[in-house]
Structure 1
Amino acid sequence: MPTRKKLPQYERRVVAFIDILGFKNFLGKGGDASFNTIYNALAELQDRFAKPMQGWSTGAKKALNINTQALQVSDCLIISRLAEEKGGVQSMLFDCAYAIHTLIRHGFLCRGAIKVGEMYHNGNMLFGEAYVRAYLAEESERLPIIKFDSELFDLARQYPAPSNEGFGSWEENFVRQNCKQLMTDTYYLDYFTDYDDRFGPGEGEASVHYHALRQIIVNGLALGKNASPYEKFRWAADQFNLSANRFQLPPI
């Protein structure tokens, strides 16, 4: 009898499900300008996430428990990593922040959720309860944020990067720096203040970037109070105003 091929199994993974807001309405505009904006935004995300493990040797991936997978389909980006990856939480939050700020530069906000649990993800094939929970959490969220549960901080402490071995509490505090509490045990990436820390060379560069964010919010509010997205843009405006002076920008 032929030998039956051994099937893979579920893994405990951290998965982020990210949705680009306003994507469908933007598609409806048609024309070259709309196409170019969408294409350039998605192409930049593809360049970043198409080969997420490129540059790592087999030995390094095994030693650090690295098995990052990413898939971009239409207006959705899905990223997952092994929960036991050393420094994996720090890397996941950086990846999500990168997606947020890339989309801001192209004129979009996004919304997403990060969950931990059983999942299979290899290339274009993914399934599992962690993915379903991330998808449903994103779908039910009204605010333009990427949110996650406090257990992510526990993972950061438990599996710090090799350079922080033995200092898990330091790594936990480090990843907390650019996160804000939404409610009990629920946090989100505070993209209104983190650009200097994660990407910008200084506040001058950050001011340019946050000017683009300001314009997205202003355009959203211009739709009027009766428009369905108004609430999320009003919330974003309030958050923006908390740090507008830091970047020498007028409040909304």
Structure 2
Amino acid sequence: MQNITYEERAVAFIDVLGFSMLVDKSVHAVSAREELQSLVDMLETSIPLLNNGVCSTVPARLIPKHTYVSDSIILSAPLADPEIENYSGLDILIMRCIQLSHRFLGAGYLLRGGIAVGNVWHSDGNIVGPAYQEAYRLEGTGENPCIVLSESAKECWVKGFGGGSRMCVRDRETLIVNGLHDFYIVDKSHGGIERTFEKYRCIVDDNLVSELPVSAKAKWNWFKSFLEQEQSESANWVLSP
């Protein structure tokens, strides 16, 4: 049995929205059960698939640990590394969150979560610590489909190497992960960014005209505004000389 040993880590707690409703439907509807199976498979395999793309020279200790439970993915990475001067576990975790946001949105799902930094013990089968609890609370108290940085994570991000990038953006007084950052769009072919954003727009519109509850549609409405904002931002970069 392992002893609890805390270390400074960045922690992300991420939920897939709409999971509970899908579970309820799956009891009596075969189509819902098939969709649930596909979603569970995606939850279980997404991080291992992303890890397969990590360069073999990256030390294993720096690759984010992950725990998958029901509709939640929990990630953590060491905040810093004594052997690599510019390493930032927070940056790495935010990158992973963006990759997951693209992956799940492409399948028709929105994510919500929280990121915190602080003391954590993350073993192969469990995670314990104040930073984990803070990330968990951030997800639970959030309304919009986005991943929110805690105050301590925000301070760490602003002061760090990534602070000037658009990997995180402001939503009023809150700093959120930019889950639509176009650098992490999988389609790298000519016109791939535009095609991907168009696909996302169709997914959003389909959900807004569906029979979803009002509360769920409110989340898709928020996301539609965010999508339009990021699509416009991406177009400006494409058109700039």
Q: Residue 7 of structure 2 is aligned with which of 1, 8, 11?
A: 11
Q: Does the 8 Å contact 2:9/2:120 carry over to 1?
A: yes
Write out aligned runs for 1:238-249 (5 A).
238-244=225-231
Write out aligned runs for 1:186-197 (5 A).
186-192=174-180, 194-196=181-183
RMSD: 3.3
Work out the CA distance in 1 between the residues paired with 2:182 and 2:2.
Answer: 46
Q: Residue 235 of structure 1 is aligned with which of 201, 222, 239?
A: 222
Displacement of 1:124: 1.3
Work out the CA distance in 2 between the residues paired with 1:90 and 1:101.
Answer: 17
Q: Does the 8 Å contact 1:52/1:70 carry over to 2?
A: no
SS across alignment from 2:59: helix
Work out the CA distance in 1 between the residues paired with 2:218 and 2:9.
Answer: 33
Displacement of 1:241: 2.6
Question: What residue is the counterpart of 1:220 in the other structure?
Answer: 207
Write out aligned runs for 1:93-104 (5 A).
93-104=94-105
Q: Does the 8 Å contact 1:154/1:172 carry over to 2?
A: no
- 1:143 aligned onto 2:165: no
- Residues 177 and 201 (structure 1), Cα distance of their counterparts in 2 relative to 1, 3 Å cut: same
- 1:129 aligned onto 2:130: yes
In structure 1, stretches of 5+ residues that fail to align are 159-167, 248-252
Displacement of 1:156: 5.6
Work out the CA distance in 2 between the residues paired with 1:229 and 1:180.
Answer: 23
SS across alignment from 1:228: helix
Work out the CA distance in 1 between the residues paired with 2:63 and 2:131.
Answer: 16
Displacement of 1:206: 2.3
- 1:180 aligned onto 2:180: no
Instruction: Show CA shifts across 1:21-77 (max 9, x none).
Output: 01122233334543443333443443342498777889935xxx6263101111100
Instruction: Show CA shifts across 1:161-219 (max 9, x none).
Output: xxxxxxx64x442xx323211244x3112234x12455441562223322332233223
Structure with the greater alpha carbon radius of gyration? 1
Q: What code does the residue aligned with 1:178 have?
A: M
Work out the CA distance in 2 between the residues paired with 1:59 and 1:101.
Answer: 23
In structure 2, stretches of 5+ residues that fail to align are 82-86, 236-241
SS across alignment from 1:9: coil
Instruction: Show CA shifts across 1:84-122 (max 9, x none).
Output: 142322211111011111111211011011001111111
State the percentage of identical aligned residues: 22
TM-score after normalising by structure 2 = 0.77
Work out the CA distance in 1 between the residues paired with 2:153 and 2:101.
Answer: 19
Question: What residue is the counterpart of 1:164 in the other structure?
Answer: none
TM-score after normalising by structure 1 = 0.74
